[in-house]
Structure 1
Amino acid sequence: MLSVQVKNARGEVLRKIAADPGFEPVLLGVDAAVHPHLAVLDPYGDTVFNYLQVKRLLLELDTYGPASGAPEAFLEELRQLCRLVLDGTHRFLWFIGS
């Protein structure tokens, strides 16, 4: 199961959440043409997004949510982490696989 963290450039964790078990875009076969950022989330390794990628990920989450089966509460928490990245400088969104 993935965990999601916002880290600064020094590697300090600013906030973290555990991903909902239903949030597995790659393992569930997300369409890379429609959701290119979600399609690269490595469920077994780490994936890091910078602020430019986070902006696009936010847009993808709006269209991914209804069809994915992932709980809206989790998707809203993920959006909040995205906004935390965008609200500061030198912040990154980390998806930590297991």
Structure 2
Amino acid sequence: MINLQVCGDNGDVVARARAGVEWTDAFAGLDSVRFPMLWALIPYGDAVFNQRQVPLLLAELDRLPAACVGDWVGQARELCQVVERGQHLYLWFVGD
């Protein structure tokens, strides 16, 4: 399970998603050219997105294959808005 959270520069968690990303082979099969942000996800590591990367991530969420979609997508959108509205905030996908 990959958990989602927004953290500040100091590492404090500002917001968390209730749902996590269930890793499936569909994520491993994402095209790195079409999905460069989501392609960075791995089940056992962390991926961090800054304020400039969030719009790219949101665009990828719009075209995500059905096999990758879940409750986490809407919650990821909400966390992206937190990052966009704040300063020195980052969206973390935290792997196991």
TM over 0.5, shorter chain: yes
Q: Which is worse superposed, 17-26 or 79-88? A: 17-26
Distance 1:23 1:76 in 2: 18
Question: Is the partner of 2:5 in helix, strand or coil?
Answer: strand
Q: Which runs of 5+ in 2 are unaligned?
A: none
For 2:66, the equivalent position in structure 1 comes to 67
Residue 26 of structure 1 pairs with residue 33 of structure 2: no
Q: CA RMSD in A?
A: 1.8
Residue 79 of structure 1 pairs with residue 80 of structure 2: no
Q: Percent identity?
A: 39
Residue 39 of structure 1 pairs with residue 31 of structure 2: no
Q: Which runs of 5+ in 1 are unaligned?
A: none
Contact 1:24–1:43 (CA<8 Å) still a contact in 2? no
Question: Is the partner of 2:92 in helix, strand or coil?
Answer: strand
Contact 1:15–1:81 (CA<8 Å) still a contact in 2? yes
Q: How many residues align?
A: 95
Deviations 1:37-66 (A, max 9, x none): 0001121111111111111101110011x5
Relative to the length of structure 1, the TM-score reads 0.85
